[in-house]
């Protein structure tokens, strides 16, 4: 578990956290109410997601919380086997805290985390944030024809 404060205890390259903000991987600090509300009501990728799905996904992922004081204002999680594969998911910063570089600092913390740095394959799916993620080494899948999926677009919703 790690915590980075605005004073610079986190990753060295890239933008610094604004004063009063910190990033932590401490699961005890996560505010599932904030995470659930954003994912269920504001995100385009999981509108209507069931609360129990959010709780399970948070409990079974490497999570990064962004905090202003004691209030959670951002989030990212890595679904991983902790050895070879990771999938970045549910990245957000609440609207009232945007424009301060928090998403870039959050992404720097994610990609420089000791577990993530050792993953052979680290992926994500995004509709609209290619510019952000490309700054951290993400690019189009080299051989998309090798990938297959089972897509159940409404599996996350409450029955």
CATH of the domain at 90: 3.40.630.30
Asked if residue 25 is part of any domain, the answer here is yes
| Residue 20 CB burial class (10 angstroms; 0-12, 13-18, ≥19) | exposed
Provide the residue range defining the domain that includes 34. 3-124
**Residue 67 belongs to some domain of the structure:** yes
Note the pLDDT tens digit of each residue in 65-89.
999 999 999 999 999 999 999 999 9
Looking at the predicted structure, is the pLDDT value of residue 7 above 80? no
Domain count, the chain: 1
On whether residue 52 sits in a domain, the answer given is yes
Domain presence at residue 136: no
Six-digit token pair at 2?
């790690």
Q: Is residue 157 part of a domain?
A: no
Whether residue 108 lies inside any domain: the answer is: yes
Residue 153 lies in a domain: no
Per the CB < 8 A criterion, the answer to whether 121 and 84 are in contact is yes
3-state secondary structure of 90: strand
Q: What pLDDT score was predicted for residue 8?
A: 39
**Do 91 and 103 contact (CB within 8 A), yes or no?**
yes
pLDDT tens for 117-146 read 999 999 999 999 999 999 999 999 999 999
């Amino acid at each position: 578990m790690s915590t980075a404060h605005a004073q610079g205890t986190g990753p060295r390259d890239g933008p610094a956290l604004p004063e009063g903000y910190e990033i932590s991987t401490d699961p005890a600090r996560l505010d599932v109410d904030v995470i659930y509300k954003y994912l269920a009501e504001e995100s385009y990728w999981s509108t209507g997601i069931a609360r129990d799905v959010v709780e399970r996904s948070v409990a079974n992922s490497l999570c990064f919380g962004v905090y202003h004081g004691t209030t959670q204002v951002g989030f990212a999680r890595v679904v991983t086997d902790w050895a070879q594969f990771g999938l970045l998911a549910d990245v957000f910063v609440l609207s009232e805290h945007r424009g301060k570089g928090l998403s870039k600092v959050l992404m720097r913390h994610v990609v420089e985390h000791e577990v993530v740095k050792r993953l052979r394959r680290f992926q994500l799916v995004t509709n609209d944030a290619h510019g952000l993620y490309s700054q951290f080494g993400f690019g189009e899948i080299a051989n998309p024809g090798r990938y297959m999926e089972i897509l159940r677009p409404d599996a996350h919703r409450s029955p």
